[in-house]
Amino acid sequence: MGGMRTGVGGTSESSGTAEIVAGAAVLATAAVAGTWFLRRRGGGSRV
């Protein structure tokens, strides 16, 4: 079985589970940090 075509320069064979989990963790951290930053920046009477 060959790898699935996922775009320029990549196949599903080259991505291990650890890399996928690490990438998901980075994206989740960025989403949480962005939400926290925007809520903090808003100020005002919001809690």
What's the pTM?
0.56
End-to-end CA, the chain: 53
C-alpha–C-alpha distance, residues 39 and 34, integer Å: 9
Which residues neighbour 42 within 8 Å (Cβ) at sequence distance 6 or greater? none
Which pLDDT does position 27 carry in this prediction? 96
C-alpha–C-alpha distance, residues 22 and 16, integer Å: 10
Which pLDDT does position 19 carry in this prediction? 87
pLDDT digits (tens, 9 = 90+) for 1-47: 566 666 665 555 667 888 889 999 999 999 999 999 998 887 665 55
Across-strand partners of 5? Answer: 11
Map out the domains of the chain as residue ranges: 17-41
